[in-house]
Amino acid sequence: MPLAPRNSPPTLDPVRPVMPRTGTGSIMSALSRQPLLKTPIPAGKLTVIEKSKQLAAWTAVDEHVKPEHRVIGIGSGSTVPYVVERIVMQGFEANKDRVFIPTGFQSKELIVSSGLSLGDVDQYPTIDVTLDGADEVDSSLNCIKGGGACHLREKVLAEAANTFILVADYRKNVDVLCTNFKPGVPIEVVPFAYAKVLHNLHAVLGSPTATLRMAVAKAGPVVSDNGNFIIDAPFSHEDMVEPYKIMARIKMLTGVVEVGLFCHMAKAAYFGNADGSVTVKWDGGKVEQVSASP
């Protein structure tokens, strides 16, 4: 499908808030009147991959986090800090009446450390917009999530949102899921049932190499924020052509809490490219290209 050119993406020049001086010239007086929002991104030169993540996040925030939005979901992953960075750059006035709902520990820390107001989905079951990363996104905006073991809470916030937006770098942009993301589909299971679910995946659902995800810096398995185990289940290309079908079959297994396949949920996906452009895929099949800045 031909790509339609659009306006240039936001510049990547670093922007830092400038504190206004009061009549007495006192910066401390200004600080006493309003909190200082803080960018979560440390100073320094970004790699090509990190710049592409930043481009995707900034463009998505500019297009989908509007002044009228008051409840905003913040997802998980390596692209999400750039989402928070761009929201912070909207300034104190834009954010003073907003509340931000996290999908896990990482996004909670990003919200708090940036000086934004923290909320909970129990208080705000309807969210204006949720922005989240992805491990892979296909041509129909189905995606794999759960590489960070947060996909249960991520799916709750995605379903609660009026608008669900994905942000990622160009490596996550594929035609069919499980093309580049080799670990497979993340599946959160209650610890009591993990062996039985593994057997079902091996013997019934066609994932003979499904494995329990083991921790790196501790002995034993990865434990989610909800106290559950994670199974990674690779599936064939044929299964991933219609991921909704295999998602439904996995979800029916007793002991499965949630499946890291997000199908028919996203409105758009933003991919930052190595050349400084951004590819935007929309629900319905439209693809746009935001040209690189001159």
User: Of 50, 85, 136, 154, which one is the catalytic site residue?
Assistant: 154
For every residue of the chain, which 3-state class applies, written as one string? CCCEEECCCCCCCCCCCCCCCCCCCCHHHHHHHCCCCCCCCCCCCCCHHHHHHHHHHHHHHHHHCCCCCCEEEECCCCCHHHHHHHHHHCCHHHHCCCEEEECCHHHHHHHHHCCCCECCCCCCCCEEEEEECCCEECCCCCEECCCCCCHHHHHHHHHHEEEEEEEEEHHHECCCCCCCCCCCEEEEECHHHHHHHHHHHHHCCCCCCCEECECCCCCCECECCCCCEEEEECCCHHHHHCHHHHHHHHHCCCCEEEECEECCCCCEEEEECCCCCEEEEECCCCEEEECCCC
Cβ-proximal residues to 91 (8 Å cutoff; 6+ apart), any chain: 17, 37
C-alpha span between 169 and 155 (Å, rounded): 20
Is 154 an active-site residue?
Answer: yes
124: nearest Cα among 69, 66, 58: 69
What positions carry a catalytic annotation? 154
